[in-house]
Amino acid sequence: MSMEKNGVRTKTLRQLAKVVRSKNSGPFEITFDVIFDSDEVYEKVKSSGVLTEALICRLYSVTSDDIVTLMFFDPARAFKLTLKRAWEQGTVGERDTFGAQQHAPLLTVEIPDF
């Protein structure tokens, strides 16, 4: 189901992607994958310009220095993101040792023209 925002139809990444996940990428980083099952949807999301450094900084309350990787990976039809962890894996204050719960903010990102 599409939504409308300022007269533009949108869909969320939750609706468009086959996979939206986060996972541990060692003791100092968490990696995120948004994988699409269609070239058409992947290219539309990629060309939308929505998945930017500024958006990631806002969604995750990080600075650009905390972003290790932010890219589209065409062979896998995927958006890839790696962030430095706020806490080292397994230390006091660390809340998600496997990094499996960190993708939620990406689910509601709206992509226009759907």
Residues 34-79 pLDDT 10s: 999 999 999 999 999 999 999 999 999 999 999 999 999 999 999 9
pLDDT at 95: 75
Whether residue 43 lies inside any domain: the answer is yes
- Please, are residues 38 and 13 in contact by the beta-carbon 8 Å criterion? no
Q: What is the domain extent for residue 32?
A: 21-87
pLDDT at 28: 93
- Please, are residues 92 and 86 in contact by the beta-carbon 8 Å criterion? no
Whether residue 101 lies inside any domain: the answer is no
**Nearest CA to 66 among 78, 58, 75?**
58
Whether residue 44 lies inside any domain: the answer is yes
**Nearest CA to 29 among 67, 72, 73?**
67
Whether residue 114 lies inside any domain: the answer is no
When divided into structural domains, the chain yields a total of 1
- Please, are residues 8 and 112 in contact by the beta-carbon 8 Å criterion? yes
Cα separation, 72 vs 4, in Å, equals: 26
Indicate if the pLDDT at residue 97 is higher than 80.
Answer: no
Whether residue 11 lies inside any domain: the answer is no
